[in-house]
Amino acid sequence: MKLPSRPTIDPITAVLAGTVVVLALAFALLLDSTTPEPVGTETSITDVTELAEQRRLTEGEVLDYDHIILVTTTRGAELWAGLPANGSSNEALQTTFAEAGVPLRFDPQSGKQARRLIVQVLLPVLILVLLFTLLARLTQRGADDVGRFSRWRKRRVLEPAAPTTFADVAGAPTAVAELQELCDLLREPERYAALHARAPRGALLVGPPGTGKTLLARATAGEAGANFFSVSGAEFVESLVGVGAARIRDLFAQAREAAPAIVFIDELDAVGRKRGAGVGQGNDEREQTLNQLLVEIDGFDAGGGIVVLAATNRPDILDPALMRPGRFDRQVTVDAPDVHGRTQILSLYLKGRPIGEDVEAAAIASLCPGFTGAELENVVNEAALLAGRHRRDAIAEADLEEAIERVMSGPRATAHRLTTDELRSIATHEASHAVVARALGGEGTRRLSIVARGRRLGAAAIVHADRERLVLRQSDLQRQLATTMAGTAGERLAFGELSTAVHDDLHAATALARSMVTSYGMSDLGPITIGERSTEVFLGASLQELGGVGQTTLDTIDAQTRRIVERAEEIATAALREHWAVVQDVAGRLASSETLGEDELAELLAPIPLPAAP
């Protein structure tokens, strides 16, 4: 692995730094040589004069530049005293020493005077000048480093060798059709310019995680033969003020140079969140970055060969200025695929892999309603890993079914073995789901299992006929509720009390019933909605706007939710009482074999007649 190279220092900066260090050391060493170095004991000039008058001195020396006098007594003691800097005492000393017959010398110290001028004046000035020059160069280098830091680091430009195209996309025909027009605009802008049509400046891909928004953006770039600039919205938000805006300017400058190009901003909500929301009414750096993004998108010329694509799974929190025509002109919804889309996606991922003769993409797709493209890819990969673990040459249908269970609930839990009572309780619970589903709506149950996975102790793979529908009636939701509450009803009938296994069922049933009351108007409260999700986000969580709702209404919502759930359990209980013998047969077989497939369940549930068509 190639390690990143360290930043190098230019030669001039290195020479300056070395010179400053050398001069600083020379200053420290030479400074002592310029200071006075008196010998002996310090005394006063008065004492020196008295000793000279008493003829108790043998000699004296005046150091003119240091302004001190050195004397030696008749006893051999060495003394020194300071003199006035103006030299006013020199003449009096010379007279006193002459009258006493004591020799007195005067040393002008001319060499030391020049040395002190160099060391104490010129050298510090030179050090300061060089130091300021060095700091100026380092500051300029730091500014250059900040400039490089604020530039967008180009992460990927699509090469034409093996581009991703719409042939690599499945399960999203509407999104492909919308993006195909953007490709035409990039390939043949003159055709639309002749009609005076303004090219869309951007398209926003909206959908839950894993639905293929990034793949669609790459395919659009590959289909159009354009350069592809991919960046995450979080890369623009930095702690340094102005860095995000600078990176956006640099990104779009590179895109203009590489036109035709597609700029793809993933997780747009990281930088495009509504301004003025949250604590402190927003973040100045993020808002400055958003403002720069708005300016850059506005700066595109029609037919300029640049299209901005962005992806988010939270369009409700985006700033309205981003969503207006002229910026992100189009919103392309990329939702979880239906059964036909899942079949196409599975066929695409299974293509080129060794698969068994019993594998049918359509049959596997029907077992995983609601799965996104990423989850389907994970299913195929897990199936391949399972086939390799069992040393098979091809992926079998059993591997794909087990992979679906692993993706939904995790691998089998082997840390705890269930007791006989636990197996019987869970088997009755799951069997009740299958019986009520058959008795009420004719939904097919693909599999029943009491194999513990993760925190789930059992599972009933019930394929609801309503799952692929976009519009559901109240009767459809009531049937789903009764099927969900079937496990709870079965435990009450069999054991007279509930177990902790009903937790997930009660949670799902309560959520659905509350939605029927507060969102769909399917209760005695009438056709109104209460507690719609707010568009504001506070500390990452969506607020529930309950302004104007009184406590009486809230109590009524709770009462209506309880009534709907209890009614669903009553319906399930009635169906179970009517077909209790089938429940016991299914539960007994399930407790012994742990898993029942579709064929075995069809045989066991055959005594239950299908309900008449409405």
d(CA 362, CA 206): 27
Residue 458 has pLDDT above 60, yes or no: no
Q: How many residues does the chain have?
A: 614
User: How far is Cα of residue 431 from the mean position of the Cα atoms in its chain?
Assistant: 43
Residue 114 has pLDDT above 70, yes or no: no
Residue 116 has pLDDT above 50, yes or no: yes
pLDDT band for 511, please (50, 70, 90 cuts). very high
Among 327, 256, 244, which Cα is nearest to 292's?
244
pLDDT band for 301, please (50, 70, 90 cuts). low
Take residue 55 and report the two structure tokens written for it: 């003829």
pLDDT tens by residue, 137-196: 766 655 445 445 445 555 444 444 457 788 888 888 888 888 888 787 777 777 777 877
Percent of residues, the chain, with pLDDT higher than 90: 8
- Domains in the chain (CATH in brackets) are 9-150 (3.30.720.210), 166-333 (3.40.50.300), 339-409 (1.10.8.60), 420-605 (1.20.58.760)
Our answer to whether residue 99 is catalytic in this structure is no
- Sequence-separated (6 or more) residues with CB below 8 Å from residue 368: 342, 375, 376, 379, 404, 407, 408
Catalytic, out of 223, 296, 405, 430: 430
d(CA 115, CA 319): 72
Which of 146-150, 468-472, 525-529 bottoms out in mean pLDDT, i.e. has the lowest? 146-150
Angle ∠(14,17,20) on CA atoms, nearest 5: 150
Take residue 603 and report the two structure tokens written for it: 């045989």
pLDDT for residue 571 = 93
pLDDT tens by residue, 542-561: 444 455 577 788 888 899 99
pLDDT (average), residues 409-416: 63
d(CA 568, CA 139): 73
Contact in structure between 518 and 553 (CB atoms under 8 Å): no
Measured N-to-C along each axis, helices 45-53 and 90-99 cross at an angle, to the nearest 10 degrees, of 20
pLDDT band for 594, please (50, 70, 90 cuts). confident
Burial class (CB within 10 angstroms; exposed 0-12, middle 13-18, buried 19+) of 199: buried
pLDDT band for 449, please (50, 70, 90 cuts). confident
Take residue 252 and report the two structure tokens written for it: 């779009």
d(CA 427, CA 448): 9
- In degrees rounded to 5, what are phi and psi of residue 307? -130, 135
Take residue 118 and report the two structure tokens written for it: 């160099």
- Sequence-separated (6 or more) residues with CB below 8 Å from residue 454: 409, 410, 411, 413
pLDDT tens by residue, 222-259: 887 778 888 887 777 665 556 777 788 888 888 888 87
pLDDT band for 514, please (50, 70, 90 cuts). very high
Burial class (CB within 10 angstroms; exposed 0-12, middle 13-18, buried 19+) of 1: exposed
d(CA 258, CA 260): 6
pLDDT (average), residues 441-461: 64
d(CA 395, CA 409): 21
Measured N-to-C along each axis, helices 420-440 and 598-605 cross at an angle, to the nearest 10 degrees, of 70
Which of 79-93, 104-118, 477-491, 499-513 bottoms out in mean pLDDT, i.e. has the lowest? 104-118
Q: Of residues 462 and 147, which shows the higher confidence score?
A: 462
pTM score, two decimals?
0.65
Query: Which of 302-311, 375-384, 401-410 tops mean pLDDT?
Result: 375-384
pLDDT band for 569, please (50, 70, 90 cuts). very high
Widest CA span in the chain:
147
- In degrees rounded to 5, what are phi and psi of residue 378? -65, -35
